[in-house]
Amino acid sequence: MEKPPPEKSGSFSRNGNGNQMDDNSGPAGAESEAVHVKFDCQQPGECGPNSNLEEHSSDPELSLPQVRKDVDRFLESLSTINDASNNPPDVPSCVESFLEMVQKTITKYDSNAKFGQEQEDDSSFIESLNCISKLIDVLGEFPSNSTTASCFSRASTILHLAMSLLDSEFRLALESCNQGNSADLKSPKPSKQASFSYRQESAYCVIPESKSSEDVEFPAYASEAISKMNRIATAMISSGYESECCMVYNMARRNAFSSELDRLGFENISIEDVQKMQWQSLEGVISMWITVIKHSSSVLFSGERKLCSSIFSEHPSISQTLFCHIALAVAVRFVNFSDAIALTKRSAEKLFKILDMYEALRDLIPFFDDDDACSSECYEELKSEIWAAKGRLGEVAVSIFCDLENSIRRDNGRTPVPSGAVHPLTRFTMNYLKYACEYKDTLEQVFQKHQKMEGCANSNGPVLDTKNGANDDGTPKTSPFSVQLNSIMDLLDENLDMKSKLYRDPALRCIFLMNNGRYILQKIKGSDEIHEMMGDTWCRKRSSDLRQHHKAYTRETWTRLLQCLNHDGLMANGKLSKTILKERFKMFSAMFDEIHRTQSTWVVSDEQLQSELRISVSAVVTPAYRSFVGRFQQYLTSGRQPDKYIKYQPEDIENLIDELFDGNPTSMARRRT
């Protein structure tokens, strides 16, 4: 009948044991404690199965390492016994002396000396524990009623006491970490677009920036402490106390990591609390979440993995498993917040923060793909959690972006924008797309994966290959995101065309289309990302449309005015009719006054377009008027009050044209006064 293995517990107790340490045994150093022994072997120091060791004051003192060698020889001799069921040999007294010396060493460590202060003593102590562990394994093969039973029980008790000591020392060493060198995440830096609205073209929020990993040490253990923990972990695992060792490490480091996240400003917020928070408040929390994830990826996880590898250097598989479980616990905190944000009410202003969060999780995944250990079940679970959370954010991003189409459709107001200015819908849409295209690569990824979301332009179409940029002929390459982008642009064009019909004046309708078309084109050309998506062919088509609106405006406004300067109809009975000539001058002045009065209140906000319009108008009107005045002015100067009919000189016309499209209704009034 074999002896049961020694009892092990994750919660060590030094006082609940049947075998107590001798209260009168004083501290004894692992190296200095000596036992007076007498060998009946032929040579001192030899200890065999039948040897008898007796204390003898006249014999030289033997140290713990020397006695341990005798025990090792005894164990070696036991290995030659083939049948453990036979009566085992007597246990020599060197074993009992050895166990007593180890017990006194434990007493020393437990009273006035600490493990880790004397490395030579510590090494000897650990070697002794390994020897005891081997002794227990060997003696456990013999029947429980044999002569070895008492030694087996005592060795098991002492090993358990030693493990209890190392367990406490391991825990204290793990809790000794000074986190004062961790990163300060209070330094702000501008991020990508944070929020968006009709009234706000560029609203950047502040995202804290962590120090570089070169300036940060985590965890901040001294090299001596790491060496000490390495020796303890190795001893506990070698002695069969792997689960207890891992439990202490896992709990201590998970608590330390959680405390570090709290210190950095990342708090646990429930889904219910997230749902109640205003978006403006959530933006700050999200910014901190993103920063903490990036800091974890670059500093905290790296430091934790390095610490695991250092402490469990002799057991890489244990190191990898421990790190993975700690990382998984941290990742769950990150994922819980991500899921809470994904469940909030969706709105256009949230897109950019959602994409920031998506990128943070996406960039975190490669960290766990660095080595072969990442193929383990634990790592697969860890990556699966992050992938799933990232996917949920991707679905939200696609849904929000696709809802931009619905926002454009819903903008069907019947009140035209005063003065033909750029419509707020145009400003909002183009700025939204401009900032969205700063996330072009990310949006390509999420649309490629989630393009069949309901409400998207290509949701019913085939799965498209993601291709960035434009073709050689300038046309945009097809990708799920570019298809959606073009769909939004087409829908915006349709909406603006509908809104242009709200203007009764055809000329103002053209100004409105030119203003909005020019604004769109400038936004496209001003962003490399969106320009690349739309392509040169689209831009050339847009420029061509602007020229057509320009021609239409000129035709609607200035054609009738120029008819007043036509020479036809000025002759009556073969002679120039002064009456008709006076009427022509008066009609020209009246029509020009009306045009100036009206169109000086119109707005062309783009300075280049405004200049182009004025130059083109002046190029058509001023030469024609100068020619007409130069030819027929002489017929009126001989009469009375020629200024009554010729109200403007050509220079006046040119100056007044330069006042058009200023959005200033008082320009003519000022001139008249």
**547-579: pLDDT as tens digits:** 999 999 999 999 999 999 888 888 777 788 888
Residue 35 or 650, more confident: 650
Distance CA(647)–CA(635), nearest Å, equals 15
**Cβ 561 vs Cβ 618: under 8 Å:** no
Model pLDDT, residue 9: 46
What's the mean pLDDT when you consider all of the chain? 80
| Three-class secondary structure assignment of 337-404 | HHHHHHCCCCCHHHHHHHHHHHHHHHHHHHHHHCCHHHHCHHHHHHHHHHHHHHHHHHHHHHHHHHHH
List, for residues 113-142, the tens digit of each pLDDT value: 677 777 788 888 888 888 888 888 888 777
Predicted confidence band at 472 (pLDDT cuts at 50, 70, 90)?
A: low
Tokens of 461: 């179409």
Q: Which of 181, 182, 174 is nearest to 226 (CA)?
A: 174
Tell me which fold the domain 418-457+477-669 belongs to.
Answer: Monooxygenase (1.20.1280)
pLDDT at site 593: 95
d(CA 165, CA 614): 92
> What is the distance, to the nearest Å, from the Cα of residue 316 to the centroid of all Cα atoms in its chain?
29
pLDDT at 216: 52
Q: What is the average per-residue pLDDT within 507-523?
A: 96
Q: Tell me the average pLDDT across 583-610.
A: 94
Query: In the predicted model, what is the mean pLDDT of residues 390-398?
Result: 95
Give the pLDDT score at 119.
Answer: 79
pLDDT for the residue numbered 464: 42
Q: pTM for this structure?
A: 0.75
Statement: residue 179 has pLDDT above 60: no
What is the b/e burial string over 130-143, where b = at least 16 CB atoms within 10 angstroms of the residue's CB?
A: ebbbbbbebbbbbb
Read off φ and ψ for residue 148, nearest 5 degrees: -90, -5
Q: Decide if 450 contacts 444 (C-beta within 8 A).
A: no
Summarize pLDDT for 77-116 with one digit per residue, the tens.
Answer: 777 766 555 666 777 878 888 888 888 888 888 777 677 7
pLDDT at 505: 95
Strand partners, 575: 572
- pLDDT at site 506: 95
How many other CB atoms are found less than 10 A from the CB of residue 566?
11
- Mean pLDDT value of segment 533-559: 94
- Summarize pLDDT for 614-631 with one digit per residue, the tens: 999 999 999 999 999 988
In this predicted structure, the answer to whether residue 58 has a pLDDT above a threshold of 60 is: no
Domain ranges of the chain: 64-77+90-176, 240-389, 418-457+477-669
Give the residue among 86, 90, 113 at the shortest CA–CA distance from 29: 113
Cβ(605)–Cβ(421) below 8 Å: yes
**Amino acid present at 237:** I
Q: What is the DSSP string of 491-520?
A: HHHHHHHHHHTT-SSHHHHHHHHHHHHHHH
Let me know: does 511 contact 553? Beta carbons within 8 Å. Answer: yes
Q: Provide the percentage of residues in the chain whose pLDDT is more than 70.
A: 75
Task: Provide the pLDDT for residue 570.
Answer: 84
Q: In the structure, what pLDDT confidence band is assigned to residue 471 with cuts at 50, 70 and 90?
A: low
Does residue 460 or residue 247 have the better pLDDT?
247
Q: What are the structure tokens assigned to 8, written together?
A: 């092990």
Burial label for 272, CB within 10 Å (0-12, 13-18, 19+), is: exposed
Q: Residue 92 in contact with residue 74, Cβ under 8 Å?
A: yes
What distance in Å separates the CA atoms of residue 303 and residue 213, rounded to the nearest whole number? 10
Instruction: Mention every residue, 6+ apart, whose C-beta is less than 8 A from residue 166.
Output: 115, 232, 235, 236
Mean pLDDT within 11-21: 40
Tokens at residue 79, please?
């290995």
pLDDT computed for residue 125 by the predictor:
85
**Tokens of residue 48, six digits:** 């065999």
Give the tokens for residue 86: 């036979």
Torsion of CA 83, 84, 85, 89, to 10 degrees: 110
In DSSP terms, 38 is beta-bridged to: 54
Q: Is the pLDDT of residue 319 over 90?
A: yes
Lowest mean per-residue pLDDT among 28-32, 159-163, 316-320? 28-32
Name which of 292-301, 551-560, 576-585, 641-650 the model is least confident about: 641-650
What's the DSSP call for residue 574?
T
Q: Is the pLDDT of residue 32 over 50?
A: no
